[in-house]
Structure 1
Amino acid sequence: MRVVLLTLNAYDMLVGDGETVGGAQLQQVLIGRALADRGHDVIFVENDAEHKTETTVDGVRIVTRPSREDGNAILRAVLRLLDLTALLGRIDPDACYVRMPLFELLPTAVYCAVTHTRLVYGFAHDSELGTDPVVFESRLTDNAVYRRAIRTARATADVLVAQNAHQERLARKQYDCPVVRIPNGYEPRDDPGPSPFPDDRPVVLWVSTLRPWKRPELVLELADRIPEALFVIVGPAADEAPELYERVREGARQRDNVRFEGFVPYEEVDAYFAAADLFCNTSTDEGFPNTFLQAWAYGTPVATLTVDPDGIVSSEPVGVHGDGDVDRLAAAIDEALGDTERLGSLETGAREHFRRHHAIGAVADRYERVLGGSDD
């Protein structure tokens, strides 16, 4: 089976270099590598850039197409459409997989419809199915016309893939095409590396791109309420919010129990997850955060303010939940860190939940069937 994955900016993660990371890209990289290991012909389509070359990494082929930065918006859109359609024609895939409401979904949907190529679309974020999708943040995409076009393109998919029960329920209401739920997967490293934390204080880790809806400034508030713990913030600035990055970095500098790491390469970040006592999520909403899986894979429980896909944190011994209230989350974190026996029980529960539900092999099995023609 020849499978195309439209990632556009997963190159750094594929080759193990650079500063571009993202949850949707990580899932595509893991799935693509797993499929390549099974003998499938896997091709990642990337935007061209000065540091990118067409190559093969871990059995995965990387091809590029012009990024089209010059000219007016309409001309760029037309050229991007033509470029991608021509590239797909040269590759001649059996299936195309898109995860995120990229502009490139539009020409891909047209190509797949005309050539009878299987199209699989994966929802990356809960808000894609809501009335105010946070994933549409640019001037080009944050409008009714673009949203309608993306919805129409999604509706042509052979299968829509939801990460969680909430997405699955909404997708079944909004679309007539088949919807399947496939959880995110992860593959922990045999040796994540030495602990990056220098002292014996309990560590609460926060990892993500610093975007407004991720609410990283709340980590500073939690640190003020739990001074005996070390709070570590890892992540790059978002293009749309560089001032947030600077504000949080300055806030961390003013506190002796907050460490601001900024960007940490994907190849090195597992050491942070493995050594932390708790992983903290402060987002307003997400799909199924990869960071939850990275934490659970190493037995690190999750402390979440709001996000709780499928109610796992509320119903299983894998972490603590703030139910949307910062005071409640601070109290839950403080209590967990102060109770060695309970923390140990959460660590065991997190590791066991990951093993049962999110090992990449089982997830790749599902994608292999869906991309190959099954709606199950």
Structure 2
Amino acid sequence: MSAAQPDVTVIVRECGERTADACVALLQRRFPGQDIHRVSDRPFSATLRRSLEKGLAEGRPWTLCIDADVLVLPELADLLEAANDAPAEVFELQGLVFDKLMTAPRAAGNHLYRTSLIARALPLIPAGHSLRPESDMVEAMAAQGFPNRQSATLIGLHDFEQSFRDLHAKAFLHGHKHRFLLPLYRPLWQMLAPIDDDFRVALAALDAAQAEDDAPSISRDFRAGSAEAAAARLALREKPVLDIVPDAATLRAWTGQAGFPGEARALSGQVASALRRGLFPEAPPAKVSPGETARPLVALACANAYPLFDFCVLPVGGGMETRAALFGRGLAALDRWQVCFVVSDFGQPFVTHREGIDFRIYQPSYRKAGRNVFPRLRKRRWFPVLNLDRRDLDLIWQMPLIAAWLALPALFFPRFWRRLKPAVVCCFGNNAQTAEVIADCHRTGIRTILFIAHDKDISPDYRPGNRAPNHYGMPKWKGHYALARADRIVVQTEAQREALRQHFGRDTVLIRNPVHVSPEDPKRWLPRAQREFVLWIGRANEYLKRPMIFVELARDCHNLDFVMIVSRTDEVVFRALEQACPPNLRILEHVPAHEIWDWQRRARVLVNTSKFEGFPNTFLQSAVTGVPIVSLEVDPDGMLARHGCGICAAGDARTMREAVVKLCADDAHAEALARAAHRHVLERHEAGARVAEFEACLRETAAAPAPAPLPWRTLLRRFVRSSAGRGGRDVD
């Protein structure tokens, strides 16, 4: 079947959409000389019934129903061709449309029905006020043995150029039909509202939807009064009649998201990934055909990065994870590398796929046995024992497995990397897991890059033989091992580069922390008069982040409002913060990374009380959102004091307090500091350029000689200092 053949009845289902005439005109281009039937009724279930009855009466083999809010692309012909290969029992085929509000491809607004089965389907249309009558009918047909088939072909655009009235209704329905995606598309719409009035209307409708629990009935005038009231509150006038018929090039340009802020594009990618997983099962990696060059695999080892890709998991990381996620997404978008994250176990499958990136749980065989054995360990006076009952007897075999891994870690743990076969492994942060990964990769001849996360990662007391633990409990000799054995080290600042050269004799690569920043950002800044509070973001860590200093600042400045976004990484510290919290301070726990942007956008000042940092991502986010920075001690490479991008109090709490009070009172000074910070970050931290530097570093590392695998006689020790042939002396 082709678009030029008369074996398909084309029906446009309309309900007063602004694009109805444009939809018909585009279909007339695809089906020249053929009638395009227009059907309208209320509620939508009646429109559905009339459309199918029209297709049945016309008697052509296929009936194509297109909603009037869809602007079709030439690729519609590919969906029609696919019908030739559909088995005789397939009732419906559907393509994808790029949705304006979801900012991603999804299944909506188009249905290609096998006309000979329509008579069976008509009695299955719900008689009541169903929220999804067409889906209910298609699912009922599938239950009778007449399935539907979802195509990955993008056949058009959905909800572009619609009236504010219709967008309000659609967004209200999203608030009911797609509540599972609410944590993603609400912050996405908040990011896009300053540049597109459609999303201002959508947010108003979403707020209304969250206040109502009853499923709505869809009809022509659905929520028209509420839409008019929302537009009046937002000082918006309804759009005029659409007098253009966009061509295919224009339609494709509308899907390009060129005007989106960078973080909105990243969030849109998460929406697209979630929608795609719901439509298509995850396919195994494609096999490389003979003569084809496989893309090199790069593994990013960052234990807590997974929640940044799965909005259903509570976030536990911070700036290091944000940096790793941005590098991973940026590298995957280049389509020149296979990207894999090696992460901790958050209850996800041991291997999963999101946004074009594979995620593997670190050491799955060991963790799979540990999931069963370790929870049954109970402390006794002299040693831990297993509490077992009859239900656990079939797990006893896993006890010697765990014992073997712990007794011979150099034999078992490197197997994970031998099977994965990455060209390069990138480790984020100098921690115990990083030391283990570098040791295992060194043993198997795999190249490694260590990304320094903060200044404590390169502490001068990281020395061989120093068994004293650092603040996180890692023996300091492991920190030295990682710095000594990594094939390449990436730093964030010139100060870190100099410290590594001075204390460890290592040359490094400087790649500044990336952020999505644009020259257009200041146009989207919230005016100073509309900003609400002084903001602090970090972990409940009194040693490094020192959040109690911010609590004391809030208590001293009782006439200002304060917000603290804090991860509950230390229960004792978090409870102390809650107990000491003054009335003008609001403490928020576990705010997802994509929601933090809206809090930053509304902040008057960002305060940093850390003792050590690398390059705080909150500084970069503040520069993008126009928030002046006040830091108690941290001033990476003189960004604040030397480059005039904020205020550093040099460790003096009184100076910090005075700076906060002054910036809240002096809008001109706050604006000047914010613009200076934005210029500085745009010049040095723009994400695209940093990803290019990262890729160049990867290529150089992958091309360098691989470390020689260690000899068998070193298998009793996981960490060894010398390379193969030199005796394998261990450092632990």
Structure 1 residue 77, shift from structure 2 partner:
5.0
Task: Provide closer, same or farther for how the CA distance between residues 83 and 35 of structure 1 changes in structure 2, counting only shifts above 3 A.
Answer: farther
Larger radius of gyration: 2
Secondary structure of the corresponding residue to residue 260 of structure 1 = strand
Q: Is the 8 A contact 2:511 2:690 kept in 1?
A: yes
Shift of 1:148: 1.5
| Per-residue deviation, 1:295 | 1.3
1:110 aligns with 439
Match of 2:510 in 1: 181
Match of 1:278 among 576, 585, 605: 605
3-state SS of 1:314 partner = coil
Q: Which amino acid aligns with 1:137?
A: H
Encode CA deviations 1:100-149: one digit per residue, 9 max, x unaligned.
Answer: 2233333432343344432111111111222568993344x2xxxx3213
Q: Structure 1: which amino acid aligns with 2:498?
A: R
- Amino acid paired to 1:232: V
Provide the rounded CA distance (Å) in 1 between the counterparts of 2:413 and 2:623: 38
State yes or no: 1:232 paired with 2:529. Answer: no
Q: Hey, what does 1:17 align to over in structure 2?
A: 312
Matched ranges for 1:288-327 at <5 A: 288-327=615-654
Q: Name the counterpart of 2:297.
A: 2
CA offset digits 1:51-107 (Å, max 9, x no partner): 445222111110123344737898765577656421211111111100122333334
Residues in 1 aligned to 2:660 and 2:407: alpha-carbon distance in whole angstroms: 51
Instruction: Work out which of the residue numbers 571, 587, 590 in structure 2 matches 1:242.
Output: 571
Is 1:4–1:97's contact at 8 Å kept on the other side of the alignment?
A: yes
Residue 499 of structure 2, aligned match among 153, 170, 180: 170
Per the alignment, residue 360 of structure 2 pairs with 63
Alpha-carbon contact 2:332-2:356 (below 8 Å) kept? yes
Question: CA separation in 2, counterparts of 1:126 and 1:117?
Answer: 26
The secondary structure found in structure 1 opposite 2:613 is coil
In 2, Cα distance between equivalents of 1:76 and 1:138: 24
The SS at the match of 1:232 is: strand
Q: 2:469 touches 2:476 (CA, 8 Å); kept in 1? A: no
Q: Which residue of structure 2 aligns with residue 265 of structure 1?
A: 592
Distance 1:177 1:170, change over 3 A: closer
Q: 1:17-53: per-residue Cα shift (whole Å, max 9, x none)?
A: 3222222111111101101111111111123342445
Give the partner amino acid of 2:620: L
Amino acid at match of 1:22: G
Report if aligned partners of 1:274, 1:299 keep a CA contact under 8 Å in 2. yes
- Distance in 2, matches of 1:177 and 1:131, equals 13
1:364 CA drift (Å): 0.9
Following the alignment from structure 1 to structure 2, what is the Cα–Cα distance between the partners of residues 174 and 78? 34
| SS of alignment partner, residue 490 of structure 2 | strand
Query: SS of 1:25's equivalent?
Result: helix
Q: Distance in 2 between the 1:307 and 1:74 partners?
A: 44
Moved more, 167-176 or 146-155: 146-155
Query: TM-score normalised to the size of structure 2?
Result: 0.46
Contact 2:353–2:359 under 8 Å retained in 1: yes
Give the CA deviation at 1:297: 1.5
Distance 1:80-1:331 versus aligned 2 partners, 3 A rule:
farther
Could you report, residue by residue, the CA deviation over 1:142-179 in whole angstroms, capped at 9, with x for unpaired residues?
xxxx3213312321222111111221111112334431
If asked which structure has higher relative contact order (CA below 8 Å, sep 6+), I would say 1
Aligned pair count? 362
- Confirm or deny: 8 A CA contact 2:540 2:568 kept in the other structure: yes
Question: Are residue 203 (structure 1) and residue 533 (structure 2) matched?
Answer: yes
Counterpart-to-counterpart distance in 1, 2:652 and 2:434: 37
CA distance in structure 2 between the partners assigned to 1:77 and 1:364 by the alignment: 38
Which blocks of at least 5 consecutive residues in structure 2 are unaligned?
A: 1-295, 378-383, 385-401, 463-467, 704-732
CA distance in 2, matches of 1:33, 1:348: 28
Q: Flag the 1:176–1:164 CA change in 2: closer, same or farther, 3 A.
A: same
Deviations 1:271-293 (A, max 9, x none): 01111111110011111111111
Q: SS of the counterpart of 2:588?
A: strand
Q: Which residue in the other structure is 2:322 paired with?
A: 26
User: Shift in Å at residue 325 of structure 1?
Assistant: 0.5
Q: Does the aligned pair in 1 maintain the 2:517–2:687 contact within 8 Å?
A: no
Structure 1: which 5+ residue stretches go unaligned?
none
Give the letter for the 1:205 counterpart: L
- Pair 1:155 & 2:484 matched: yes
Matched AA of 2:470: F
Contact 1:125 1:135 in 2 (8 A): no
- TM normalised by structure 1 equals 0.87
CA distance in 2, matches of 1:82, 1:46: 21
Distance 1:195 1:369, change over 3 A: closer
Q: Distance in 1 between matches of 2:496 and 2:406?
A: 29
Matched, 1:329 2:656: yes
Q: Secondary structure at the match of 1:235?
A: strand
Work out the percentage of aligned pairs sharing the same amino acid.
Answer: 26
Letter aligned with residue 304 of structure 2: N
RMSD: 2.9
Partner of 1:212: 542
Given candidates 112, 129, 140, the residue that maps to 2:458 is 129
Report the Cα distance in structure 2 between the residues aligned to 1:180 and 1:118, rounded to whole angstroms. Answer: 15
Please name the residue that 2:332 is paired with. 36
1:158–1:177: 8 Å Cα contact kept in structure 2? no
Partner SS state of residue 285, structure 1: coil
* Partner amino acid, structure 1, of 2:514: G
| Corresponding letter in the other structure for 2:590 | F
Kindly indicate whether the alpha-carbon contact (under 8 Å) linking 2:430 and 2:482 is maintained by their aligned counterparts in 1.
Answer: no
